[in-house]
Amino acid sequence: MTIFSIGEILLGVLIFIVIYYWRINRSTPMTKWPVLGMLPGLMHNMSNNYEYINLILKQNNGTFIFEGPWLTNLKIVYTSDPMNVQHITSTKFENYGKGDKFREIFEFLGEGIFRSDFHKWKYNRTLLHSIFKQENFKVFIYKTVAKKVDSSLLVFLDHACKQGLQVDLQDVFHRLTFDNICSIVLGFDPNCLSIELPEVEYERAFSQYEEAIFYRIFKPKFLWKLQKWLKIGVEKNIIKNEKILDQMLYASIKSKRKIQYQQQFNLLSALMKETGDGKNSIDDMFLRDTAINLLGAGRDTISSCLTWFFWLVATHPFIEAKILEEIKENLPSRDGNWKDLGMEGLTKLIYLHGALCEALRLYPPVPYELQSSWKSDVLPSGHKIKSNTMIIYSLYSVGRVEEIWGEDCLEFKPERWISKKGGIIHVPSYKFIAFNAGPRTCLGKELSFIEMKIIAAIILLNYHIKVVECHPIIPCVSEVLHMKHGLKVMVNKRSI
């Protein structure tokens, strides 16, 4: 007579449970396990997170509820339903905000515009809008970007051409946009982009921080809080990088306080001037919080879009030719310089604008937006929402909804943005949500297009970009949609 040990019996029970749950859940995209909930499936597919969530959303008509391990109270509503997005961002805007969970995860953003709610958010937005809407601020953006492109980007790319160097274009855009946004917001250029490609502590800290912080969304709160308290694992690096960035920010604020009348315009000084020196003046912490929010928005989103844009264009030579022809047509002469375009010339680059919108649709810089409900509600999809429920709408998935974009939604087609009369087709923001929607629509949308068009037009006019053969193009699982292995290219001078 065979006698089974306790270990063998437990193993048998475990195998039975695994098979049982696999059988009852095999027709569903995400298995809900005992104790662990749906977390194992999510973690197993983390390296392919965007496509995995996109598949689940498609199989659930655009909305599903993720349930975490027992006792963690982790429940997330995922959606790509445009009606749900409109409901959350516009129709019932007052019932949805960043909430306590977002504020805990992204605590480093302080009371800046991306983390605040209610009157603090309104104050932030009103103050920034008063500066962003000024025509001279747009001119300042144009001149700052054009100057940096002329003095650094073209010099670097010319050097790469002459030396026959393989270039990581994503790294180049990280450096370029960080230099630009530091000049715009803080009034100093860290010179990240030069022939030597120096390692700049501030720029590196930004990259490491945003990649690490993403995992807080899916980790049980007690776990990342414990790691932070013990200063171990990913949280140890987060603390280190936060300290580096704070040192940079407060040093910049201190220098601006000392110089009362500045010759060079920058956003930090403009905020000080806007609020005055009296009872309405703003303290260093407010300036720091505003600056870190703007630095993140101005560096990461633009560099991400440009990286995906150049990969798409480089792999679609017919589209590249059409963009190049449009740029040349808008130059005063066929052998004209890129500087001859000017701000007015940029507005005439309709096909380029459409191509940038396509890149943003397919690869939105911020793949997920996180919101929280203040009170109970019912979404247009019929899903009941309790108070303090975390909701994630997938910008990545919204850009792949066939009902919005058609059966060819996975194709790169700038033409879908251009009307029969040759203008840009307006798509409601809750469908094209790269710049968010409703009252939280990005204030810097127009300024972002100015910078992206300058950089795209100058590179395409002067160089031919060829992606290195067999180079893997994989999205990096992060707060911002970067390429995991960068974008390795060869750069060749173009004869105009």
Q: Residue 4's pLDDT is what?
A: 46
For β-strands 488-493 and 463-467, DSSP reports them as antiparallel
C-beta neighbour count of 13 within 10 angstroms: 10
Q: Give the DSSP per-residue string, 289-305.
A: HHHHHHHHHHHHHHHHH
Tens of pLDDT, residues 329-376: 988 766 667 777 888 889 999 999 999 999 999 999 999 999 999 999
- How far apart, in whole angstroms, are the C-alpha atoms of residue 283 and residue 291? 13
* Beta partners for residue 368, in sequence order: 394
Residue from 109, 100, 102 nearest 246 by CA:
109
Distance CA 364, CA 357 (A): 9
Percent of the chain with pLDDT over 90: 61
Domains of the chain: 28-493 (1.10.630.10)
* Pairing state between β 166-168 and 96-97: unpaired
Q: In this model, does residue 35 exceed pLDDT 70?
A: no
Tens of pLDDT along 223-264? 889 999 999 988 999 999 999 999 999 998 888 877 655 556
What pLDDT score was predicted for residue 279? 47
Average pLDDT, the chain: 87
pLDDT of residue 332: 77
- What distance in Å separates the CA atoms of residue 262 and residue 101, rounded to the nearest whole number? 40
Cα–Cα distance measured from residue 178 to residue 172, given in angstroms and rounded to the nearest whole number: 10
Residue count (the chain): 496
CA–CA separation, 23 vs 38, rounded Å? 15
User: In Å, what is the CA distance from 5 to each residue of 15, 120, 192, 363, 392?
Assistant: 15, 63, 64, 54, 47
Instruction: Find tokens 């120096």 and name the residue.
Output: 198
- Rounded distance between C-alpha atoms, residue 32 and residue 40, angstroms: 9
Radius of gyration of the chain (CA): 24
Across 45-49, 239-243, 323-327, least confident range: 45-49
**Residue showing tokens 């800046």:** 112
Q: Is the pLDDT of residue 178 over 80?
A: yes
Distance in angstroms (rounded) separating the CA atoms of residues 65 and 75: 7
pLDDT band at residue 297 under the 50/70/90 scheme = confident
Cα separations (Å) of 297 from 165, 434, 479? 30, 12, 12
Asked whether 465 and 459 are in contact (CB, 8 A), the reply is yes
* pLDDT tens digits for range 104-143: 888 988 998 988 888 999 999 999 998 888 888 889 999 9
Q: What is the CB neighbour count within 10 angstroms for residue 15? A: 10
* pLDDT band of 27, cuts 50, 70, 90: very low
Cα–chain center distance at 479: 7
Sheet of strand 96-97: strand arrangement: 63-67, 75-79, 390-394, 368-373, 96-97
More reliable by pLDDT, 67 or 374: 374
From the list 175, 193, 185, 177, the residue with the least C-alpha distance to 145 is 177
pLDDT tier at 215, thresholds 50, 70, 90: confident
Higher per-residue confidence, 11 vs 50: 50
Rounded average pLDDT over 93-98: 94
Kindly report the CA angle at 138 between 205 and 142, in degrees rounded to 5? 70
DSSP characters for 450-461?
Answer: HHHHHHHHHHHH
Is the separation of the CB atoms in 169 and 309 below 8 Å?
no
Rounded-to-integer distance, Cα 344 and Cα 446, Å = 13
